[in-house]
Amino acid sequence: MWTSTADRLALLEAEWRTPSPRPRNFPLIARYHAAVQAEPAYHRLDDQTWTDLNGDDLFALLDGTTSRVGQQCLYHRVRSPLNDEAALQDFDQAARLFAEPAPRGKALLALRRLTSTDAYYLPDILTGDALLALPWTVAAPAMVLLLLATVVGGFWQPALWLLSGGLILLHSVLHFWYRSRIKGVMRPMQQLSSLYRAGRGLTRLQLPLAALHGLAEPLGQLGSIVNKVAFLQTDDLMKSEMTMLPWLVLEYLKMMLLLDFIVYRSCRRQVEQHFGAIRAVYEAVGYVDCAVAVAGFRARHPHCVPQFTAETGLRLSGAYNPLVPGCVPNDLTVADTSILLTGSNMSGKTTFMRAIGLSMLLAQTIATCPATAYAAPFRRVVSSINLADSLTEGKSYYFAEAETILGFVRAAEASAGGYLFILDELFKGTNTVERIAATQAVLAYLQPRSLVVASTHDGELGQLLAPAFTEYHFSETVTETDWYFDYLLKPGPLRTRNAIRLLARVGFPTSIVEDAEALSRTLDAVGTSAANP
């Protein structure tokens, strides 16, 4: 059904302003990220940190992309923080540009050419060695010449037509035997024409984007491949009865002259030679789509552009977690110290820790922070929040956590000052005394080497880690009839205890509550006596 350009643009604009929920196949979306994972980079967000920060939900919130290429590039960008201020400023300018309706509309129309799910497979050819090799195709031209020679020679020596028949049979077998294998690897190559048209459409807009400069040569190289790939896509001719006869004639010629294999070998050679050009066009198209999507995120969510400093601290104003509806914003400023958070469960500690991690991650990936102000140096973000037992590997929670934290220690030693460590209640899998001792030792070791944001229920840690750590807390209010949280960050350690009162509030028997309170007072007295012999 024909749709006018104005109608298409209206639909694209509506989707940009309010992206509708859509299913996301993350293994396909992550295909580009996986393809370049081993390449040198400042940082790649590991799977544990991605899970801790609810990465899939974050991506879904950001994903206002139009093309499959844009989706893949956005996913890769969010998992690949930069330490390049100039590159982030360029991206910020691109997002600002696409906040304007005119350039955004033209870009959206160009990007819509890459909406086929087959475009997810384009990263398969970006490395230059993913296409199926058919060594025997080197002999295909000679086999065709031999067939033609026997056909022509048969007019003088009819016996040669017997050889012609054998060759025709061989060509038919090869054609049908290998055709399905070639079609299997043609999936990404068949999207090269859509990539070419999207890239060419964007360059014709003459947008002031560095990512699109110098794209003429890569597009020229890609165009030479596209014309050959089109020859291998003749199945599209079989869409009506009128085109059936031309399709049959062309298929017969392709079978007799082994044209599919000759053209495929030429395409494969050109893809291997020009995969750099293909990648340049792919990444330029993805860059534009990412900038358009981020412009949409900015239009929907309060944000600021980050400021990168040479200082060691962190300054956040109005920071919130964009994944939590109605999240209460908080301020935080630290200079040369790290942060120790205390507070009961559900009071907001973990949400705020994630808000800090997301602010730093988004600052260094899309130059956009969910806050009113952000100032910090470049840091790699790693975390241990939702660490699970590795029971299939025979590891306890404590052992799995110990291995993870050891990795953090090694990383801090290798790159002093270069990390933000987000650590939620370390060593929960052991007894209180050893937990406090091990946590104090680890945090004290990490703090001079990086910025640490740690949470704990062990109030003793505040004194043990002072003055290297600044204490903050979240608290709740418990009454006889209700309890509520204000989710506001407050300076200093938590001075109140409400866990046992909450037991009474939710309906525990009075005897249990009274016994717990009595034992708590006894333990407090013992602790005080031990601390003041």
- List, for residues 238-261, the tens digit of each pLDDT value: 455 555 666 577 677 777 777 777
The whole domain housing 14 covers 5-300
Q: What is the structure's pLDDT at 232?
A: 56
Ordered strands of the 330-334 beta sheet? 307-308, 373-376, 314-319, 330-334
Q: Is there a domain that residue 374 lies in?
A: yes
Q: What is the structure's pLDDT at 328?
A: 94
Q: Averaged over 179-193, what is the pLDDT? A: 73
The reply to whether 225 and 293 lie within a common domain is yes
Orientation of helix 140-153 relative to helix 259-273, angle to 10°: 150
Q: Is there a domain that residue 510 lies in?
A: no
Q: Is there a domain that residue 519 lies in?
A: no
On the question of pLDDT at 25 being above 60, the answer is: yes
Strand partners, 332: 316
The reply to whether 249 and 129 lie within a common domain is yes
The reply to whether 178 and 139 lie within a common domain is yes
CB contact at 8 A, 292 and 66: yes
pLDDT band at 528 (very low <50, low <70, confident <90, very high): very low
pLDDT band at 533 (very low <50, low <70, confident <90, very high): very low
Q: Is there a domain that residue 268 lies in?
A: yes
Report phi then psi at 476, rounded to 5: -130, 165
Q: What is the structure's pLDDT at 1?
A: 45
The predicted-structure confidence for 124-153, as pLDDT tens digits, reads as follows 888 755 566 777 777 777 887 887 888 888
Q: Is there a domain that residue 114 lies in?
A: yes
The predicted-structure confidence for 298-329, as pLDDT tens digits, reads as follows 999 999 999 999 888 899 999 999 999 999 99
Q: What is the structure's pLDDT at 164?
A: 82
The reply to whether 276 and 212 lie within a common domain is yes
The reply to whether 405 and 469 lie within a common domain is yes
Q: Is there a domain that residue 210 lies in?
A: yes
The reply to whether 231 and 332 lie within a common domain is no
Task: Give the CATH number, domain containing residue 485.
Answer: 3.40.50.300
* Number of structural domains found in the chain: 2
pLDDT band at 430 (very low <50, low <70, confident <90, very high): confident
pLDDT band at 20 (very low <50, low <70, confident <90, very high): confident
Give the end of a domain, one of 300, 334, 368: 300
Q: Averaged over 416-428, what is the pLDDT? A: 87
Q: What is the structure's pLDDT at 311?
A: 83
The reply to whether 206 and 339 lie within a common domain is no
The reply to whether 399 and 266 lie within a common domain is no
On the question of pLDDT at 72 being above 90, the answer is: yes
Give the end of a domain, one of 258, 280, 300: 300
On the question of pLDDT at 229 being above 60, the answer is: yes
Q: Is there a domain that residue 529 lies in?
A: no
Q: Which helix (H) or strand (E) holds 322?
A: none
The reply to whether 112 and 229 lie within a common domain is yes
pLDDT band at 15 (very low <50, low <70, confident <90, very high): confident
Give the end of a domain, one of 300, 325, 356: 300
Q: How far apart are CA 474 and CA 135, in angstroms?
A: 67
The reply to whether 57 and 140 lie within a common domain is yes
Q: Averaged over 440-448, what is the pLDDT? A: 93
Q: What is the structure's pLDDT at 120?
A: 93
The reply to whether 194 and 100 lie within a common domain is yes
Q: Averaged over 60-74, what is the pLDDT? A: 96
Q: Is there a domain that residue 248 lies in?
A: yes
Average pLDDT value over all residues in the chain: 85
DSSP 44-70: ---HHHHHHTTHHHHHHHH---SSHHH
Distances (CA, A) of 484 to 168, 281, 343, 492, 502: 83, 53, 13, 20, 11
The reply to whether 274 and 324 lie within a common domain is no
DSSP 275-317: HHHHHHHHHHHHHHHHHHHHHHHHHHS--B--EE-SSS-EEEE
Peptide bond into 370 cis (omega under 30): no
